[in-house]
Amino acid sequence: MTREYSGIRESRTHTATVTDWGGESCRGAGNFRANCIGQADRTFSQGLQCQQINSINALLSLADSAFIVHAPIGCTGCCSGANDVYRVGQMHRGNYAVKNARILATNLDERDIILGGEQKLRKAISLASERYNPKAIFIFTSCASGIIGDDIEAIVADAQKSAAPLLVPVHCEGFKSKVCASGYDAAFLAIGKYILKDAPKGDTIPDLLNLFAPPSVSYLDQLEIERMLGEIGIRINYIPFYSSFEKLRTIPRAAASTAICKVFADEFMVDLKEEYGIPFSHTIMPIGTRNTDKWYLGVAELFGKTAEAKAYIARQREQFAPLVQDIYNRLHGKRVFICGGTGRSFAAAALVSDFGMKLVGLETPTFDNDALIDFDYLNGVHGSYEVDVANMQPFEQVNLLQKLKPDVFVGVPSWAAKLGFPTTHVLDMKRPTLGYRNLVYLGNKMASQLENPGYNKRLSAHARLPYRDSWYESDPFKFIKQY
C-alpha cells in the first residue's frame, strides 16, 4: 500500500476539516471554498465526543470477539451506551437470550500512570482469552496509555506468542483528534493492518458488496437495504456491524464496497481500492427519496446494473408517492432544525425537501470538502440557514433553538425536548430512517410529533436548563475564536 493515512482526520491533505464554526450557510460555503475558514477553537467547551468511543462503537457488535479498554475507568463509561445499542440490536434480530458485549477495562490508576500499564494489559489479555475464548481481542488505547507511552505494539507482539486469539490494537487515544469520526478510521486501520494482512485474497465473489455500516443503523434499515439491493441481485457483507471475524476476512473477496454513512469507512474504502482493486461508491446516506436514489444508483453502477436500478427506483417512487404526499400535506411549510452526525445531518436535511419543509438550522460535528457538496445542494433548496459546526456543544444548540424557534427538531433530541419543541430522533438505531419504506416511517413520526406535542410541552414546563436569560440573548458563537 503506497497511501499513508494516519487515521487522524485533521491530517488529511486533500481537504480542510472544520470543527469549530458557526454562521449562515451560504457565507460558510463561500468562506470554505475561498479557504477563509482557518484554524479555530472554542474558548469554552461543554465536552467533546472522544474518538475512542467511536472505535468501540464500530466494533462492539462483533459477536466472536472480546474487547479490552486500556484506560482509566472513566474512559470506559461510554461503553454502557455502546452496550445498550448492542443489546437492543440483538433483540431486534430475534435473539432474546441477550448478551452483554465482552468488554474488560484495565482500570489504569495513579500507580500505573507512574509505573506503566503493561502488567494490567497482559493480565487483561489472558483473562479475556480464558473467559471468552474469542477469535480476536481488540485493545483500545486511551489518552492515559498514550501519554505514559505504553508500547502497546511491543506488548501485543510479545503476548501474541502465547495467546490463541488474534490481538488487534486500535490506536484511538482521544487527544489525537477533535473529529470523532477519526475513531472509525482507527478501527478500520486496525482491521487492515492486523486482520486483513494475512487474509487469503481468494476469488472475487461477483455479487458480493462490502457494506460498511455504523451501529446507529437499525435492524429495519438493514432489512430495507437488503430488500432494495436484493431486487437487483446484490448480496451484502455487512462490516463490522453485527458481523464476525470470518466476515471481516471476506472483505478482500467482495466485488465492490460502499458505506451507509459518508464519514464511515470512506478512507478505508480508498485503501481497499488501492490494495485489492475493489471499486467503491461514496455518495450520500440513503435518507429521503433523492438521497436514496443517488446512493442506490451509485451501488448499482459498480455492478453494471444501472438500468435495472432505474426501473426499480421508478417502481418504488410510484408505490410510495401517495404516502409521501400524505406526509407532505401534514408537514409542508414547517420550519425544521436538524442535528446529527456529519453524514446523517446533511442527508436528513435533504429529506425535508420530500415533505416541503424549510430548513432553518443545522448542527454537524465537522465540515469538509465532502460536506461542501451537500451544503451547496441544501443552499440551493433552502437558501441560507444557520449552521453550527460543533461536536457536542448543547449550550450553542439551545441558544440557536430559542432564537430560531423551529416547528420541528430532528436529531438528538434531549435538549430540544426540554425546551418544548416537537422532536424526532434520527441518530438512534432503535428506529428506521433509511430507504424508501423507512422514509414513510420517519415522515409519519415527524408529523405525529408535530400533531401531538403534549409530552415535550409538559417536559419543558418542569425541566430546568442551566442557562441564564442573558445567554439566550448572546451571540451563540461568541466562544468560537478563529486564529
Interface residues toward ligand SF4, by CB under 6 A: 50, 52, 71, 75, 142-143, 174-175
For 246, residues 6+ apart whose C-beta sits below 8 A from its C-beta are none
For 473, residues 6+ apart whose C-beta sits below 8 A from its C-beta are none
Confirm if 62 and 132 have CB atoms less than 8 A apart: no
Least Å from the CB of residue 258 to ligand SF4: 29
Identify the DSSP state of 18: B
CB atoms within 10 A of CB 450: 18
Residue sitting closest to ligand SF4 (CB): 174
Least Å from the CB of residue 45 to ligand SF4: 12
Residue 98 to residues 71, 87, 135, Cα–Cα distance (Å): 27, 6, 20
Confirm if 21 and 28 have CB atoms less than 8 A apart: yes
Distance CA 431, CA 442 (A): 8
CB atoms within 10 A of CB 229: 24
Nearer to ligand SF4, 174 or 215 (CB): 174
Least Å from the CB of residue 20 to ligand SF4: 17
Least Å from the CB of residue 51 to ligand SF4: 7
Least Å from the CB of residue 49 to ligand SF4: 9
Nearer to ligand SF4, 23 or 116 (CB): 116
Q: Are strands 235-240 and 254-259 parallel, antiparallel or unpaired?
A: unpaired
* Amino acid at the residue 373: I
Nearer to ligand SF4, 17 or 379 (CB): 17
Nearer to ligand SF4, 108 or 446 (CB): 108
Nearer to ligand SF4, 37 or 75 (CB): 75
Among residues 207, 226, 205, the alpha carbon closest in space to that of 276 is found at 205
Least Å from the CB of residue 268 to ligand SF4: 22
Looking from the CA of 206 toward its CB, the CA atoms found within 13 Å total 4
Least Å from the CB of residue 155 to ligand SF4: 18
Torsion of CA 17, 291, 331, 385, to 10 degrees: 30
CB atoms within 10 A of CB 116: 17
Nearer to ligand SF4, 52 or 397 (CB): 52
Nearer to ligand SF4, 71 or 412 (CB): 71
